[in-house]
Structure 1
Amino acid sequence: MIKAVARPRQWQRWVCSSCLSQRAAPTPQHRRFATSPKSTAAGFESFVPASHAPLNREDDVALRSVFDHPKFWRDFSSAPGGVSVGLFRNAFLKEPRGFLTFARVSLNRARAVVAKVLAASSVVEYRAIVRDLDRLSDILCRVLDMADFVRVTHPDRNMQRMASKAWELVYQYMNELNTMSGLHDQLAAAMANPDVTAVWSEEEKTVAEVLKLDFTKSAVNLPQKYRDRFVALSSEISAVGSAFVQEMAPDQDTLILPSSELRGMDPLQARALTRGGSVYLPTLSGPAALALRTVHSPDARKLIYYASRTASRRSVEMLEYLMKLRAELATLSGFESYGHLSLRDRMMARSPEAVDQFLRALAESNRPKARQEMAELLIEKQKAHPLATTLDPWDKDYYSDLIRRQLRLTGRQGDLLSPYFSLGVVMQGLSRLFTELYGIRLVPRQPLVGETWHPDVRRLDVISDTDGHVAVLYCDLFYRADKSPNPAHFTVRCSREISEAEMAEVWEQTQQDPEMAIFGSPESASNDGMTFSRQQGNTIKQLPTIALVCDFQQPSAQGGDQPALLSYFQLETLFHEMGHAIHSVLARTSFQTVSGTRCATDLAELPSTLMEYFAADASVLARFARHHETNEPLPYRMVAQKVRQAKRFEASDTEGQIILAMLDQALHSERAGRPGFDSTDIFHGIQKTFGSGPPDPRGTRWQGFFGHLSGYGSTYYSYLFDRVLAQRVWDVVFRSGAQGGALKRENGERLKESLLKWGGARDPWRCLSEVLGDERLAEGGEEAMALVGSWGSTRQE
């Protein structure tokens, strides 16, 4: 099965301390970073950096300045007039209709590769099949990933519209390939021939296995009538899943309460919802969640709780129909359940039974602390109600918030920390951290005409002290009304090795197609004009091209040349998203199918979650966090207080996630295909069995709001799994041993060489076993999953 692999994101972080906080004024020498591409008579030629220099002060100062000083950025980014080089330097994307040209050219290339694979008959030709299929996937992903990004981020509606058309054209062709049994048969023939596999690298063998399983999951090996039903089911599942998420609704849209019942709630919010002495409270809203945490009246909280935990019958019916469709799809494909089908593909767990072992072990290790937290809440309740012996479901948020408030420092916590976290200083800190750990740094590069989608977007080149230019990072970090507020990491293009034969083939096509005459060399044509690198032995690699999207406040909105200041939560978010980026940067594999974050799905959040530990580490923060005006170092006690406050009921929060992961597993089990399937009974039963706190009362149907059931589909446990693994890696690799372990190069190299650089090209259990030094993990399986669960996910003090 040829497919585009989604990037993990939500719907998916050092040297001389004396110069960390220098406030640089714009100076002419910084313009040396503004390097223009070469021009040729034939057209556009990609720029190929060759710097291998270690961290230097000028790069470091410029990095802070392009983010912290709007005037400096305007001077730095101002490029002389000229012809557009195309979005991301993709030479096809100089104007919106170029997306259609890009799609057409890519489809022609793809059809040529398909014809080559289907015609393979000799041993030599079969040996090239894995590389050809990976190239075919890359050709399609280049369009799909680019278009996917543009559709949700680009401010030009016409550009979005053309990107959507290109996406539809290529996606339709990809679906045709997924029903093409000839590709599957050719791959199977290659894998069955020892004369072929004997010369394959380990990475090629891994890619072959991934592709084979993809074909199996798409039912391409079944008779035609079953394939037709598979396609119809897949289409209906997609439609029902989208409708479930978009149309989910509560049983009661709005609660009408006397304003006197909402004492304790922020009066400004309450007043904004008040009409004629009554408060009109939308059931699924921020104010409703706030009311559950702050309203003193238990009767009012009870009404709000019931309303906010009861989905409409239609929402629940749609959810259950989705589960039944997935159960039928799994049966058609020869799997016991949808969970068995889903967990066979790029998952460490590999089976629902292994996930169950992990979740039960995690629940057991978490239970004592969760029960302790519930006892503390009851004690807090008894201060106001001495005769109370139990907690009600609508008590938990209220008394948790009451206890958390007692931990807060005087004043507004965000205002106390933000002055130490200007965006430029944080980016500077990230670059220094990566230099310390991995020998790579972030270098500002002047964007060329048409290269970015908005003037606020900063381009950074990722430079290795041994390998030169290894990635391109585009940072769209400031708020705009026309883009999603959700932080996200996009891999617009993956790492991949481009062979001489492929370049020659593309160059020949370029000479025959007038629309491809814009390129000046085979290397440029093979990369669509985008940046590439030349490795030892003259090997060409397309560079990972990554976009980070956040919604931080614009620096100009704060007046003058003041920097954007981040809250601690925003700092943690940026470190998290940069963890995904560094995975894409370091896993520069020869095959895009397994590059970067295209690893086991339940491993993909490990690098990003691990970065949150760096964001809270005193030695890391001490290397860069300075007050943007006074240059004073950050008082770490304020961060420690913030972390303690966030962790105060961590075990209870973890227990809630365990219950949701168990619900996800249960709804995607064989039970979904049986008569009498009732998602409400299943959810309430799991709560009663595994919850330490009061379960939802009868009459509620919260599972109808669980939108992640559509997207995750039996893999929701991954969030918890990676949290546990991140804590373990932090404790074993970076926190143990001598002080300052979080900044030791040998620890970074250990993580990179054992895990990060492999992407999906190596058994993830082997990677974990090596980085943690624990042979019990090497073979994976149910026992290894249970072992991980037994470690727990509660951070150690």
Structure 2
Amino acid sequence: MIKKTLITPFNTKYNTAPFRIIQNEDFLPTIKESIKLAKKEIDEIVNNPKKPSFENTIEALDFSGEQLDRISSIFFNLNSAETNEDIQKIAQEVSPLLSEFSNDVTLNEDLFKRVKAVYDSKSELDLNTEQTTLLDKKYKSFSRNGANLSEDEKTQLREIDKKLSQLKLKFGENVLAETNKFEMLITDETDLSGLPDGTKEAAKQLAESKKKEGWLFTLDYPSYIPFMTYADNRELRKKLSLAAGAKAFKGDDLDNQNNVLQIVKLRHERANILGYKTHAHFVLEERMAETPETVLKFSNELLEKAKPAAEREFKNLENFAKDLDNIDRLEKWDGAYYSEKLKQKLFSLDDEKLKPYFKLENVIDGAFTIANKLFDLNFEEINTIDKYHDDVLTYKVTDNKGNFVSVFYADFFPRSGKRNGAWMTSYKPQYIKDGENSRPHISIVCNFTKPTNTKPSLLTFNEVTTLFHEFGHALHGMLANTTYPSLSGTSVFWDFVELPSQVMENWCFEKEALELFATHYETGEVIPMDLVEKIKESATFHEGMQTLRQLSFGLLDMNWHAGESPETIQDVKAFESEAFKNTALYPETKETCMSTSFSHIFQGGYSSGYYSYKWAEVLDADAFEYFKEEGIFNKTVANKFKDNVLSKGGTENPMTLYKRFRGQEPKPEALLKRAGLIESN
């Protein structure tokens, strides 16, 4: 039975998702019905008796399947942010259906003939830039995904895609289950030595909520990070560190080793069928970097600059730990603890001093104020639309003229149904159809420190930058202003998508911006300027080690996906250790493995793309240097960024958009200077 209310457009304010009336059992029949409707729309395009044209084929194709896209985006967003066993079971059923439908489209010969006919005649068509981009993208979506294959090869491709969709889901479910399963209960208060009061209070409350005596710690970031940073008890830090590192790597029914090997093997097989040397070659053809060789050259050049600095920093940290506590060998569970101690010594700065100035509500208001000063956006909290959990905040976004811009959802605290980390997503894209600019519904999801009985949610500085990072992605979605949904918002090359998010982090380090929101939650005092200076001074603290860490993840990703014989890999841990050999600082721990919980590349969309964080850092450092030259709230620069980057989505090549904003290609020197890896002039 299909609920009429789940057939779009929804009968809700702003056409938002009707979470209140959606039951889990509604998803499967509604998605099946939506697939039927989408197939009918495809058939109408294929059977159109008129000669193939841009409007009746390419444009019609881009606007087809809207209902399916909406209901499936709601479903998979819930599977990330508010999942349960029922939703996970449905996901295992739904994913192959969606994969099969996607293949039905891209492997439809008659549809491809129409698309190719338009593509082959494009020189005769009077298309604008966005239309030309859409035509190229649609043609490639067929040619790159099997339209030119034989029937046998198409059958193989379908089978691979079906298996991959299930394997990726299973990978994510195992990681979430492992995260939720681990608990460390402390009953002796002396074992809490070094921990901030707020962390202890939160652990006490968590234990009480589970009817336990003592203090409970988990692998959720707001519990895990403070413990690893402040707990004096080295053995307990080790226990927690090993638990985090061993997720889905225990040889039990939640183990992901075989899933990793299968995913990598199938991706490689798929790329070969499509005529590509490796999965990385397939993926990177549609990225700014273009080839694995470019990615490796870029990564190794940064590695050359960062590694000597990282090794010096690590040696200093080792000496510091030796002098302070007679630690002979620095282990992974010592890194955050002694780094924090050293940072406090060098800068008289620690997160506990900063947290009172970063009450969550104030930081949210600060992000909104900065968005208003830069991009003329206004955020009004509203309670007239449905939300999927009581924690979720909902906002109506307008411009300075009162025009409706977007719906914005914000979900900040960890819970058992939510995966770790932070991300931005969309419940509805922006597009222009029949003369109407249909506005987007954007969401950010984080896992921040929860309020306790005595304190509001006080963020670490890292959580502050995370909020600004995800808010930058959200602005990219909210300010979208394109005609076609598949080119809108964050639908850009993957190594360009991190520019808006990473550039927004820069405002967290600027006095002029911090004064807008960093006020003490009890006294209302603006953050003292000496703390602001210390934040800026400490911004490059251990930047060599941080850069090495990010590069190591990107290189691990490339090792998994740019190798020509993944079917010969037998041992996930041994393969990973070899990939990390050139970037490792800490001693190896045999009990842990990163790949088995590396959700970015084995569940999310970052396979062969993890390097893009560093790639986009080059762009963001160069972009923010422009803001600093003209003033961090300079409207001319902000408008150029909005008009040429944020609003344009994927309508043009990203380097073209960037150069139109900046007037030049990005220079890596800006990043190296900011990171302290080369000297400023």
Smaller-chain TM-score bracket: 0.7 to 0.9
Which residue in 1 is equivalent to 2:623? 729
In 2: Cα distance, 1:409 partner to 1:589 partner: 45
Of the three residues 468, 490, 498, the one matched with 1:597 is: 490
Of the three residues 588, 593, 606, the one matched with 1:696 is: 588
Map Cα deviations across residues 226-259 of structure 1 (whole Å, 9 max, x no partner): 1111121222233334444544789xx999xxx9
Please state if 1:434 is matched with 2:375. Answer: no
1:90-489 counterparts in 2 under 5 A?
A: 90=16, 95-96=21-22, 103=31, 106-107=34-35, 109-120=37-48, 122-123=50-51, 125-153=53-81, 173-194=101-122, 198-247=125-174, 311-312=249-250, 315-345=256-286, 347-383=287-323, 396-397=335-336, 399-406=338-345, 407-409=347-349, 412-418=352-358, 421=359, 423=361, 425-444=362-381, 446-448=382-384, 451-453=386-388, 458-465=393-400, 469-477=403-411, 479=413, 484=418, 486-489=421-424
Q: Give yes or no for contact 1:150–1:160 (8 Å, CA) kept in 2.
A: no
Q: Larger RCO: Structure 1 or Structure 2 (Cα < 8 Å, ≥ 6 residues apart)?
A: 1
Which residue in 1 is equivalent to 2:213? none
Matched residues, percent identical? 21
Of the three residues 421, 430, 438, the one matched with 1:495 is: 430
In 1: Cα distance, 2:499 partner to 2:451 partner: 32
Q: Normalising by structure 1, what TM-score?
A: 0.68
Please state if 1:764 is matched with 2:654. Answer: yes
Secondary structure of the residue aligned to 2:582 is helix
In 1: Cα distance, 2:43 partner to 2:671 partner: 47
In 1: Cα distance, 2:269 partner to 2:583 partner: 29
In 2: Cα distance, 1:708 partner to 1:304 partner: 22
Map Cα deviations across residues 537-581 of structure 1 (whole Å, 9 max, x no partner): xx212111123344667889669xxx8655544433332222111
Q: Note closer, same or farther for the CA distance 1:297–1:629 as it changes in structure 2 (3 Å cut).
A: closer
Of the three residues 464, 468, 477, the one matched with 1:584 is: 477
Bigger mean CA deviation after superposition, 703-712 or 185-194: 703-712
1:653-732 counterparts in 2 under 5 A?
A: 653-673=546-566, 675=568, 679-691=572-584, 693-694=585-586, 696=588, 702-711=594-603, 712-731=606-625
User: Which amino acid letter does the alignment assign opposite residue 343 of structure 2?
Assistant: R
Bigger mean CA deviation after superposition, 586-595 or 230-239: 230-239
In 1: Cα distance, 2:235 partner to 2:33 partner: 64
In 1: Cα distance, 2:261 partner to 2:87 partner: 38
Map Cα deviations across residues 647-706 of structure 1 (whole Å, 9 max, x no partner): 522220220221121111011123433646655454334433344x35537897554443
1:356, distance to aligned residue in structure 2 (A): 0.6
Q: Note closer, same or farther for the CA distance 1:644–1:700 as it changes in structure 2 (3 Å cut).
A: same
Q: Give yes or no for contact 1:417–1:568 (8 Å, CA) kept in 2.
A: no
Q: Note closer, same or farther for the CA distance 1:544–1:678 as it changes in structure 2 (3 Å cut).
A: same
Q: Give yes or no for contact 1:366–1:651 (8 Å, CA) kept in 2.
A: yes
Secondary structure of the residue aligned to 1:229 is helix
User: Which amino acid letter does the alignment assign opposite residue 232 of structure 1?
Assistant: E
Q: Give yes or no for contact 1:417–1:638 (8 Å, CA) kept in 2.
A: no
Please state if 1:546 is matched with 2:438. Answer: no
Secondary structure of the residue aligned to 1:541 is strand
Q: Give yes or no for contact 2:356–2:520 (8 Å, CA) kept in 1.
A: no
In 2: Cα distance, 1:161 partner to 1:677 partner: 29
1:184, distance to aligned residue in structure 2 (A): 2.1
In 1: Cα distance, 2:577 partner to 2:36 partner: 53
User: Which amino acid letter does the alignment assign opposite residue 594 of structure 1?
Assistant: L
Q: Note closer, same or farther for the CA distance 1:298–1:588 as it changes in structure 2 (3 Å cut).
A: closer
In 1: Cα distance, 2:151 partner to 2:396 partner: 49
User: Which amino acid letter does the alignment assign opposite residue 290 of structure 2?
Assistant: R
Whose Rg is larger?
A: 1
Q: Note closer, same or farther for the CA distance 1:475–1:169 as it changes in structure 2 (3 Å cut).
A: same
Secondary structure of the residue aligned to 1:462 is strand
Map Cα deviations across residues 322-341 of structure 1 (whole Å, 9 max, x no partner): 32222222111211011111
Q: Note closer, same or farther for the CA distance 1:380–1:194 as it changes in structure 2 (3 Å cut).
A: closer
Which residue in 2 is equivalent to 1:60? none
Of the three residues 618, 631, 634, the one matched with 1:744 is: 634
Q: Note closer, same or farther for the CA distance 1:627–1:338 as it changes in structure 2 (3 Å cut).
A: same
Map Cα deviations across residues 342-386 of structure 1 (whole Å, 9 max, x no partner): 2223x2212111111110111122233213212312432452699
Map Cα deviations across residues 192-212 of structure 1 (whole Å, 9 max, x no partner): 01466x222211121222222
Q: Note closer, same or farther for the CA distance 1:315–1:730 as it changes in structure 2 (3 Å cut).
A: same
Q: Note closer, same or farther for the CA distance 1:315–1:90 as it changes in structure 2 (3 Å cut).
A: closer
Q: Note closer, same or farther for the CA distance 1:570–1:495 as it changes in structure 2 (3 Å cut).
A: same
Q: Note closer, same or farther for the CA distance 1:463–1:714 as it changes in structure 2 (3 Å cut).
A: same
1:494, distance to aligned residue in structure 2 (A): 0.8
Count of aligned residue pairs for this structure pair = 646
Map Cα deviations across residues 64-89 of structure 1 (whole Å, 9 max, x no partner): xxxxxxxxxxxxxxxxxxxx943763
Map Cα deviations across residues 382-402 of structure 1 (whole Å, 9 max, x no partner): 5269997x8676764554343
Q: Give yes or no for contact 1:585–1:596 (8 Å, CA) kept in 2.
A: yes
1:621, distance to aligned residue in structure 2 (A): 2.1
Q: Give yes or no for contact 1:155–1:453 (8 Å, CA) kept in 2.
A: no
In 2: Cα distance, 1:229 partner to 1:668 partner: 20
User: Which amino acid letter does the alignment assign opposite residue 157 of structure 2?
Assistant: F
Q: Note closer, same or farther for the CA distance 1:291–1:443 as it changes in structure 2 (3 Å cut).
A: closer
In 2: Cα distance, 1:574 partner to 1:369 partner: 28
Secondary structure of the residue aligned to 2:408 is strand
Q: Give yes or no for contact 2:34–2:65 (8 Å, CA) kept in 1.
A: no
Secondary structure of the residue aligned to 1:758 is coil
1:185, distance to aligned residue in structure 2 (A): 2.3
Map Cα deviations across residues 41-76 of structure 1 (whole Å, 9 max, x no partner): xx9xx99xxxxxxxxxxxxxxxxxxxxxxxxxxxxx
Secondary structure of the residue aligned to 2:167 is helix
Q: Normalising by structure 2, what TM-score?
A: 0.79
Secondary structure of the residue aligned to 2:638 is helix
In 2: Cα distance, 1:299 partner to 1:338 partner: 41
Unpaired runs of at least 5, structure 2: 208-215
In 1: Cα distance, 2:337 partner to 2:457 partner: 33
Map Cα deviations across residues 145-191 of structure 1 (whole Å, 9 max, x no partner): 13333455569999999999988876654443243232222211110
1:222, distance to aligned residue in structure 2 (A): 0.9
Q: Give yes or no for contact 1:120–1:126 (8 Å, CA) kept in 2.
A: no
